[in-house]
Structure 1
Amino acid sequence: MKVTVKNQEEFEEDEVVIYCSVENGKIKKIKGFVENMDYKLWVTSNEENIMVDPDEVYYFESVDKRTFVYLKEMILECPLRLYEIELKYKGFSFFRATKSTIVNTKYIRKVVPMINRNLMVTLKNKEKLIISRRNIKEFKILIGWE
C-alpha cells in the first residue's frame, strides 16, 4: 500500500483522501480510524470517571445489563449499551462476536474453528472468546479472509 502526504498551506482544514480499486476491509479500517481517532470512551472504576482511548480496549462484554470494558490488565464499567458501542466505534477494528461481546480484532492472536461451527479466538492477553457462527462471514471479511 502506497502512502503519500502532501502539504497544502492554503487548506483551512486537514482532509484525508483514499484512492483505492475496491473498498475492502483494510480500507474500511483506515477510514474508520481516521474518522474516529479523536473519540474517547468514558468508563468508571471505583467511583472515578476515566477517559480511555478505544484503541486500548481488548473487548466489551455485557453481563446482567451492565457493560464491562476489558483492557490489557484492567476491567472497567461503561455506561453505554453494546449496541451504542457498536454504532459509535464501528470505524475502529471492533466486531460484534456474540450477542454479549464486541471484540477488538486488533488484539486477536489465534483463531480456531470449533465443532459447533463457532470460532474460538485467543486474544493477545490470553483470554478466549467465541465468535458465533452467524457472525463468521462478516468476521472473515473484516480480517481479510474473504
Structure 2
Amino acid sequence: MERRAMPRGLVSRSLIATLVFAAAVVPGWTFGSLAERWTGSELLDWFVTCVWAAGAVRVLAPRASYRTRDAWLGLIPLYNWYLVCVLGWRVALLPFRDWEPREDELWRARWLTGDLIGYWRADPVPVGAPRAASAPAASRRSR
C-alpha cells in the first residue's frame, strides 16, 4: 500500500519552527554573552549574535524561497530574528509550500490539486540535472 505524503499539522509545524528558531538564535546569544564577558563590550555581543543569525539565514534562505544574499539582512538587529521566524515557519512545512515560489523557481514548482489544493511542491533539483537555458531558444544559432 502506497502512503501519500501530507503536509504537517499546525502543532507539529509550530514545534519544528520553534526548534529551528532556537537552534538559529540561542547559540548566537550564548556566544555573544561569552564574548561580552571576556571583553566587556556590549557591541561585540550584538555583533556576534547578529553574525550567528545571519549565518542561520544564509543556511535556511535557499530552502524557503529567499536568496542567499538575504543573509545580509540577517545582520540587522531584531529584524534578523523576525527573518529567522519566517524562514523557520516555511522550512517546517517542507517539502510542501504554502507560499508562491519566486519567478526563478517556477520552472520546477508544481501547484498541487485534490486534497492538497493550496500547496506548492518544488522538489530539489538532482545533481547533474539539466538546468534551464540562459538564452531564449529563438536567439540561439543553429547550423
TM over 0.5: no
TM-score interval (norm. to shorter): under 0.3
Is the strand fraction higher in 1 or 2? 1
Larger C-alpha radius of gyration, 1 or 2?
2
Q: TM-score under structure 2 normalisation?
A: 0.27
Point out which structure has higher relative CO (alpha carbons under 8 A, 6+ apart). 2
